[in-house]
Each structure stands twice: as structure tokens, then as C-alpha cells.
């Protein structure tokens, strides 16, 4: 059971969400505007927020930025916008997940459960983890820091989780299903979620899908991280 805030201005959609979440034993509060949502979050504790983008007083993306200024509560975006650039912008602005409308109540339940599992895992004290080095890449899971050739990488939470998971298995091809299960804590999902994060991670590593250095995609198989190949054809061994 979780405490859920639904931010949705469409009364029909809002009522359906409230009914479904209540039937699933969640405690639900709902509002129809961004300002009401900010007031609710400022005064009450929630486990997750379902945030619509098409709000009457303020665009949901702006509301997300304001929410992130006062709380780290997990936020699932509910949007009819399926543009990749918009999705990436929302994830980088602090969204924990997103759903493209229309979506089923079963899909929403699965996303809520995954977000809550990640939040619980993040709250547990983890034992010290060794620093991972692959070529010029250094990943410190304990401090949640990564460097490339001595330069600190500015990564989102999910980008770091993805990088750390792959770096911990250098040269191993990891299936997308495994990435969803281990990084996103989901048994199923949209491949676009992985593609978006890989695309932005590549940019921060100074590479592209066409000219990869560390991240290599094997079509229909999965993704692997390995050190770049040197000019003489020999790869840098993991350290």
C-alpha cells in the first residue's frame, strides 16, 4: 500500500485512476492543478506522484521542476506526448518514470510497484562497493560518481545506475530484459526507455551509436560496455 497523489485535470481520467488505485489498497489524494499539487506535497508525505503534463494553470514539466525543488518523492509522468526529446527532458528534469497515454491500469500498477521498489532499495544502507575502472572510465558506486579520463561526468540517477551496471560487467552483452529487471526494476517495459538513456549516456561519454567507444549495441541481443580500441587495434584492459 502506498500514499499516492494524482495530479490530473480531466475529471473522468482522475476518477478512473482514483477508483483503480483505491481498489489496489493505495491511499489516494487528487488535485487538478499544479499549484494545488505543490501545496499538497509541501504539507503531506506521499510515496509517489502521478503527474499529468496538460494542466490548466502550469505545464506539467514546469510543475515537475518546482516539485523537485521541495521534495524527492518519486514522480511518474502521465503524458500524451511521445516525442523523444520531450521524454528525455522530463527524465533529466527529475521524473522517475513516464507513461504515454492511453495506458492500462495494469501498466500503471506495474510502474508504481517498480518505482516503489527502487525507492525502498535506495533507502537501504548498502555495503561498500569497489571502484570500477574500464579503460579511462571510473565508476564509484558508493559515492555515485563517475569520471571519464579524470573529468567528472554529470549523470542523472538513472544514467548512473545504467552505467554502473554495465561497467560492472565489462565485455559482457547484457540483454534488454535484464537491464529492465536490474536497472529499472521492471519485468517488462518499452525499449524506448533504454534507448533514450543510452543515447544521453553516449553523449556524455563523447560517443555516438554510429561511432561507439564504450557502449556497444548488438541489435536484437543487448548492450555491452568495454574499453575503447586503441590505434594499434589492442583494447585497453579493464583495471
Which CATH code of 1.10.340.30, 2.60.40.420, 3.40.50.2300, 3.40.50.170 fits the domain covering 3-123? Answer: 3.40.50.2300
**CA distances for 115 relative to 38, 50, 55, 76, 118, angstroms:** 20, 11, 23, 8, 5
Confidence at residue 188, expressed as pLDDT on a 0 to 100 scale: 62
Confidence at residue 230, expressed as pLDDT on a 0 to 100 scale: 62
**CA distances for 109 relative to 50, 64, 103, 209, angstroms:** 11, 21, 11, 33
Query: Mean pLDDT for each 10-residue chunk of the chain (239 residues)?
Result: 90 91 91 93 90 89 86 87 80 85 84 83 58 93 90 90 92 89 72 85 93 91 87 46
In this structure, the number of other CB atoms found within 10 A of the CB of residue 197 comes to 23
Fold of 132-225: Arc Repressor Mutant, subunit A (1.10.10)
Residue appearing with cell numbers 488535485:
31
Confidence at residue 125, expressed as pLDDT on a 0 to 100 scale: 47
Q: What kind and span of H or E run contains 126?
A: none
Q: What are the residue boundaries of the structural domains of the chain, listed by start?
A: 3-123, 132-225
Confidence at residue 3, expressed as pLDDT on a 0 to 100 scale: 92
CA angle 115, 148, 198 (to 5 degrees): 40
Cβ neighbourhood burial of 97 (10 Å; 0-12, 13-18, 19+): buried
Confidence at residue 236, expressed as pLDDT on a 0 to 100 scale: 47
Under DSSP, the state recorded for 141 is: T
Confidence at residue 92, expressed as pLDDT on a 0 to 100 scale: 80
Amino acid at each position: 500500500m502506498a500514499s499516492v497523489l494524482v495530479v490530473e485535470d480531466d475529471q473522468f481520467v482522475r476518477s478512473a485512476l482514483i477508483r483503480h488505485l483505491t481498489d489496489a489498497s493505495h491511499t489516494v489524494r487528487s488535485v487538478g492543478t499544479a499549484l494545488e499539487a505543490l501545496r499538497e506535497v509541501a504539507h503531506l508525505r506521499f510515496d509517489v506522484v502521478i503527474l499529468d503534463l496538460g494542466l490548466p494553470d502550469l505545464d506539467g514539466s514546469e510543475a515537475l521542476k518546482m516539485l523537485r525543488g521541495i521534495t524527492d518523492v518519486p514522480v511518474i509522468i502521465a503524458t500524451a506526448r511521445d516525442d523523444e526529446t520531450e521524454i528525455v527532458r522530463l527524465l533529466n528534469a527529475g521524473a522517475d518514470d513516464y507513461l504515454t497515454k492511453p495506458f492500462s491500469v495494469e501498466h500503471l500498477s506495474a510502474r508504481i510497484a517498480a518505482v516503489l521498489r527502487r525507492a525502498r532499495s535506495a533507502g537501504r544502507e548498502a555495503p561498500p562497493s569497489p571502484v570500477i575502472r574500464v579503460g579511462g572510465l571510473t565508476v564509484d558506486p558508493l559515492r555515485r560518481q563517475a569520471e571519464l579520463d579524470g573529468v567528472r561526468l554529470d549523470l542523472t540517477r538513472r544514467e548512473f545506475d545504467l552505467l554502473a551496471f554495465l561497467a560492472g560487467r565489462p565485455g559482457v552483452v547484457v540483454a534488454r530484459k535484464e537491464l529492465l529487471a536490474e536497472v529499472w526494476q521492471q519485468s517488462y517495459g518499452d525499449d524506448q526507455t533504454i534507448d533514450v538513456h543510452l543515447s544521453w549516456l553516449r553523449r556524455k561519454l563523447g560517443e555516438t551509436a554510429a561511432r561507439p567507444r564504450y557502449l556497444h549495441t548488438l541489435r536484437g541481443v543487448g548492450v555491452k560496455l568495454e574499453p575503447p580500441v586503441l590505434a594499434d587495434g589492442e583494447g585497453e584492459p579493464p583495471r
